[in-house]
Structure 1
Amino acid sequence: MQSLQKFVRAQKIDAAGLTAIGAFERAVIGYFDWDKKDYKRIPVDEQVEVLSLIGDVAEADGKPALHIHAVLGKSDGSVVGGHLLEGHVRPTLEVILTQPPAHLRKKKDPETGLALIALDRS
């Protein structure tokens, strides 16, 4: 995640759709606990296939922010998925960024505490 964050900042990408496939040697997935308004961290401490990774880049607090969900395949054929908090690539992750014609911006939602894409221009 840090490498991808550095890349979008260096390239001045503040709005994009993101997809990827590849593999992680380990990862941390998050499940949003509505009552606690926080992510439960779910460690994945094994080599996994990135079956689907989808998300966006949108401006939050004046800088690009990543919001990514992942579906990871384990060696026994089971899957785990959720909000991607950490992903350590091994051997590769093929990422495609698609920039939209309109600017995407996030605003903190007072009800959830989450940074959500704002549909208005304020």
Structure 2
Amino acid sequence: MKAKVLNPGPERTIALVFDKDDEVIATLQRFATEHELVASRFTAIGALSGAVLGYFDWDRKAYDRIPVDEQVEVLSLIGDIALDGTQPRAHAHAVLGRRDGSTVGGHLLVATVRPTLEVILVESPSYLVKRCDPESGLALIEIGA
């Protein structure tokens, strides 16, 4: 992955260009940790050789896995990076387009880039903190934390 600062502030904007075979969430996590990101949002387009999406099952408090075992276009990928305890955590949702024009979407659990993914990341000057919500078991953003 290559990165370039497009605007230094007050909301720093960074272009991230992923390479073929990069794993999206792991690469975002690594970048967030290395650059000490604490409050960011991102959007992306590109293509993937495959992915695993998730649908949160409220009763089980776990994600149902939705495998996508084909080349797909990333029609929309949006997400945020916020502190989960002391570590930045990426959270993303995606809508993926299939060859026949149909789509599938959900929480992005795993995805492999092919040939590229172009991400625009904007770092906010304020802090976003995630706290574990006891009812859902999920780390949710807590405003004003």
1:63 aligned to 2:75?
Answer: no
Counterpart in the other structure of 2:44: 20
1:39 aligned to 2:58?
Answer: no
Counterpart in the other structure of 1:86: 110
RMSD between aligned residues: 0.7
> Tell me, which stretches of 5 or more residues in structure 2 are unaligned?
1-24
Q: Deviations over 1:24-79 (max 9, x none)?
A: 00000000001101000000000000000000000002000011000000001000
Q: Which range moved further: 51-60 or 112-121?
A: 112-121
Task: Give, in angstroms, the shift of residue 101 of structure 1.
Answer: 2.1
Structure-2 separation of matches of 1:44 and 1:8: 26
* TM-score with structure 2 setting the length: 0.82
Q: Which range moved further: 1-10 or 43-52?
A: 1-10
Q: Deviations over 1:74-112 (max 9, x none)?
A: 001000000000010000000111111210100000110
Task: Give, in angstroms, the shift of residue 120 of structure 1.
Answer: 3.3
The equivalent position to 2:135 in structure 1, one of 92, 111, 122, is 111
> Tell me, which stretches of 5 or more residues in structure 1 are unaligned?
none
Q: Give the aligned residue type for 1:24.
A: L
The equivalent position to 1:4 in structure 2, one of 28, 31, 53, is 28
SS of corresponding position for 2:107: strand
* TM-score with structure 1 setting the length: 0.97
Q: Which range moved further: 47-56 or 9-18?
A: 9-18
The equivalent position to 1:49 in structure 2, one of 73, 78, 90, is 73
The equivalent position to 1:97 in structure 2, one of 93, 96, 121, is 121
Q: Give the aligned residue type for 2:35.
A: Q
Task: Give, in angstroms, the shift of residue 8 of structure 1.
Answer: 1.1
Structure-1 separation of matches of 2:85 and 2:125: 21
Structure-2 separation of matches of 1:66 and 1:7: 10
